[in-house]
Amino acid sequence: MQRLGILLSGRGSNFIAIAKAINEGRLPNAEIAVVISNLPEAPGLEAARNLGLPALSLPSAGRKRAEHDADILAALRQHQVDLVCLAGYMRIISPEFVAAYPNRILNVHPALLPAFPGLDAQAQAFEYGAKVAGCTVHFVDEQMDHGAIILQRTVPVLDEDTVESLSARILEQEHLAYSEAIAHVLSGDFHLVERRYLRRT
Amino acid sequence: MQRLGILLSGRGSNFIAIAKAINEGRLPNAEIAVVISNLPEAPGLEAARNLGLPALSLPSAGRKRAEHDADILAALRQHQVDLVCLAGYMRIISPEFVAAYPNRILNVHPALLPAFPGLDAQAQAFEYGAKVAGCTVHFVDEQMDHGAIILQRTVPVLDEDTVESLSARILEQEHLAYSEAIAHVLSGDFHLVERRYLRRT
């Protein structure tokens, strides 16, 4: 059994999708070891408690990044976490954190990276007039929205879309893509050629 | 009948795909009025002559951009061109040229813009480790690979791909996408909301 550590700052819809995938047997060798939020009021923490999962609030407000990240690392180690999954975690993580879990920190971003990194990716794509949008699951490295890409899924942008309808369509794919990517990373059946994530055959 | 002016610098595979679409009736209201190359030795010029189309060499070497573009504009006007299609035209066009054909200059780019603009887009996508690649047909504005997007088509990037196999897969979609986009622009059934190209219903 491999143990996931979830970091979130909001409602954690991607965390809930991961929990659901585990319950439905789509992530057969994984369990959620701990859910950590940097915001005490994040609804995702409450959702974790409702699912009977260990839920920790480690507030980042007023703390230095390195110190806060050290607290998170200590909590992840205490819970024997194998793979860290960012799920709407609105913090840049420190190089020390990245180095502690090499190719063991995942993130999902609501755009086809390298297009539309950063905040409000869906609105960026909408306003740019992109005809194809999507999501990217990637390893986390020292740069924002930058690490090697594990998988990407596309959705069309429709003429009748609003930012909200487009975001909802992308979010559906995030929920599917994230569990699929976690399962594949946990299988270990991959290797990296520079930035290219290649599945072993 | 609407008249297309093709600008190219190389073999003009997208030009040939447009000519094929016209011959096959997929662009029923269009004809190619003239094919112009800035490189006298471009194989696309020879291909145009073989198809019985007016083919002009207007060398850019040693000429100022504004002067060269003025020559091209004069040729386009002389041939009563309604819509300009860049087909592997390896020159930035001047603001005066853009202003002379507002929303009447198209380009196809072998990437899902705004990702991977500029040269060697397919190799950029390959080396980045993108899992989805594609092409973009867009209006040409004053910035490189930047105008409003008419359509985008995606292709998967496969683990066994080389830059060459990926480029070939993208090129197939370019050939389809470009004629489809030209047909739609010629229909006039669209409007632009800022950068968003919306089809009239």
Alpha helical stretches, state H, A24-156: 43-50, 65-78, 95-100, 121-128
For residue B114, whether the previous peptide bond is cis, meaning omega lies within 30 degrees of 0, is: yes
Helices B163-187 and B121-128: angle between axes, nearest 10 degrees: 120
Same fold? A1-101, A107-201: yes
Chain B CB within 8 Å of residue A24 CB:
no
Alpha helical stretches, state H, chain B: 13-23, 43-50, 65-78, 95-100, 121-128, 163-187
Which value, to the nearest 10 degrees, does the dihedral of the CA atoms of residues A82, A85, A91, A94 take?
Answer: 30
| Cα separation, A142 vs A120, whole angstroms | 20
Chain B CB within 8 Å of residue A116 CB:
yes
What band does A200 get if pLDDT is binned at 50, 70 and 90? confident
Please state the rounded mean pLDDT for residues A57-65.
93
| Residue of A130, A152, A194 with shortest CB distance to B131 | A152
**Alpha carbon distance, N-terminus to C-terminus of chain B:** 23
What is the structure's pLDDT at A4?
98
Q: Which two tokens stand for residue B160?
A: 């066994």
What are the extents of the domains in chain B? 1-101, 107-201
Q: Which residue has the tokens 């985008």?
A: B152
Taking phi over 0 as left and psi of -120 to 50 as alpha, with beta for the rest, B52 belongs to left
What is the structure's pLDDT at A201?
66
What is the structure's pLDDT at B200?
84
Please state the rounded mean pLDDT for residues A12-30.
95
Please state the rounded mean pLDDT for residues A98-108.
96
Asked whether B76 and B56 are in contact (CB, 8 A), the reply is no
Q: Please list every residue in chain B whose beta carbon sits closer than 8 Å to the beta carbon of residue A197.
A: 129
Chain A CB within 8 Å of residue B187 CB:
no
**Per residue in A155-175, pLDDT tens?**
999 999 999 999 999 999 999
| Cα separation, B186 vs B170, whole angstroms | 24
- ipTM exceeding 0.90, yes/no: yes
- For residue A84, CA distances in Å to A66, A89, A148, A164, B141 come to 17, 11, 15, 28, 43
- Supply the residues of A annotated as catalytic: 109
Burial of A193 (0-12, 13-18, 19+ CB in 10 A): exposed
What is the structure's pLDDT at B201?
66
Q: What is the mean pLDDT of chain A?
A: 96
Chain B CB within 8 Å of residue A123 CB:
no
| Residue of A152, A195, A199 with shortest CB distance to B127 | A195
Whether A42 has a pLDDT exceeding 70, the answer reads yes
For residue A114, whether the previous peptide bond is cis, meaning omega lies within 30 degrees of 0, is: yes
| Cα separation, A55 vs A65, whole angstroms | 21
Amino acid type, A57: S
Q: Using the beta-carbon criterion (under 8 Å), do B114 and A134 form an inter-chain contact? A: no
Please give the full DSSP string across B142-187, using - where no structure is assigned. Answer: SSTT-S-EEEEEEEEPPTT--HHHHHHHHHHHHHHHHHHHHHHHHH
Q: Using the beta-carbon criterion (under 8 Å), do B198 and A132 form an inter-chain contact? A: no
| Cα separation, A30 vs A15, whole angstroms | 13
Does domain B107-201 fall into CATH 3.40.50.170?
A: yes
- Shortest distance between the Cα of A133 and any Cα of chain B, in A, equals 9
Helix (H, G, I), strand (E, B) or coil at B124: helix
Q: Using the beta-carbon criterion (under 8 Å), do A194 and B128 form an inter-chain contact? A: no
Whether A190 has a pLDDT exceeding 90, the answer reads yes
Q: Please list every residue in chain B whose beta carbon sits closer than 8 Å to the beta carbon of residue A158.
A: none
B contact residues 126-145, partner A, Cβ 8 Å cutoff: 126-132, 134, 136
- Shortest distance between the Cα of B141 and any Cα of chain A, in A, equals 14
In the predicted model, residues of chain B with pLDDT beneath 70 are 201
Architecture of domain B1-101: 3-Layer(aba) Sandwich (3.40)
Q: Please list every residue in chain A whose beta carbon sits closer than 8 Å to the beta carbon of residue B126.
A: 196
Asked whether A77 and A45 are in contact (CB, 8 A), the reply is no
Q: Using the beta-carbon criterion (under 8 Å), do A131 and B151 form an inter-chain contact? A: yes
What lies within 8 Å, CB to CB, of A29 at 6+ separation is A1, A2, A186
